[in-house]
Amino acid sequence: EIIARETGERITHLAPVKGDGLVNCVYEVLIPKGAYILRANTGEDDYGIYLKEQWCVEQTARLGIPGPESFRVGKIGAVAYSLYRKIPGMVATQVTSTRDPIWRKIGEYARKYHQIEAYGFGSGFSADPAKGATIANWLDYYLDYIFDNDRLVEEGIVRREDLIRSRKAIEEISQWNITPRLCHGNPVLKNVIVREDGEVALIDWGTACGHLAPQIDLTEILVEHPDDHRGLALFLEGYGLSQTDFQAMKEQIWVLQAWRLLSVAKWALQDNPLARKEMVKYKCLLDRLFSL
């Protein structure tokens, strides 16, 4: 029904896209016009997330950043969906030759989209100045989510003293001077397509947020690729940042890493075997972070 509504054509082939996170229902759809990527979910926030992603794709395209084309969003009953043309090419994680130009290009793109002002803070930002969450809203939510009980300590994920240290540091974000900018929220290799013509396309803007730039996107890179020092250096080069610039941000990045890792560790404690598998990774990164 979704394909018929949006394209007027019938499906000739439908296949799930594997490895696209723990909660996404993602399909590759073939119709006579070509291949499309369809996402469909029934979560209460999904329609808003798809609209946000559509807005981000439109805004960044104006800056010359390649991404999904013919991006459409809709809702049929309780099912929200997004649909866009499949980008012919390869996910950057599958590239076996040098990835240096990819990381450099991601840095170039980040510098461009960080110019876009986001009204509001966190994933609840808005393009409308009259709307959007505040830093206080964002902080209240995460302070309650992360620190509402001692389960992270009881499960042996972090030491109590590290949890206390983290809470104090995260609370101080309220004192930071932040003009929220559009941030991708996860500008890493799994969210990049190297097109058949060699262009680098940035996808999956569902994680986009209004936040401190470039610190929040650097935080995500350090969480996803903690040992790819060359990739980080090339991102900085593409962005136009020196190592001195990066070192000046390290204190804020440490706080954002603590927030990010503690929140995903708390999420991974849910009774979901797939989520639980991620806990080893998060604990290792938290141990490394708290040793600094």
pLDDT interval class at 191 (50, 70, 90)? very high
pLDDT of residue 114: 98
Q: Under 8 Å CB-to-CB from 156, ≥6 apart: which residues?
A: none
Tokens of 115: 């110019």
% of the chain at pLDDT higher than 70: 95
Tens digits of residue pLDDT in 60-80: 999 999 999 999 999 999 999
267 Cβ contact list (under 8 Å, min separation 6):
275
Q: What pLDDT does 126 receive?
A: 65
Mean per-residue pLDDT, 234-242:
99
Dihedral angle over CA of 43, 79, 131, 124, nearest 10: 30
Task: For the chain, list the domains and their CATH numbers.
Answer: 2-85 (3.30.200.20), 89-290 (3.90.1200.10)
Residue 20 predicted with pLDDT over 60: no
Query: Which pLDDT score, from 0 to 100, does residue 127 have?
Result: 61
Q: E-strand spans in the chain?
A: 13-16, 26-31, 34-41, 69-76, 79-85, 89-91, 181-183, 192-195, 200-202, 209-211
Mind listing the pLDDT tens digit for each residue in 129-170? Answer: 656 788 999 999 999 999 999 999 999 999 999 999 999 999
pLDDT digits (tens, 9 = 90+) for 114-128: 999 998 899 877 666
Q: What is the overall mean pLDDT for the chain?
A: 92
Average pLDDT over every residue of 270-284: 81
> Across residues 248-264, what is the average pLDDT?
97
Rounded distance between C-alpha atoms, residue 70 and residue 60, angstroms: 14
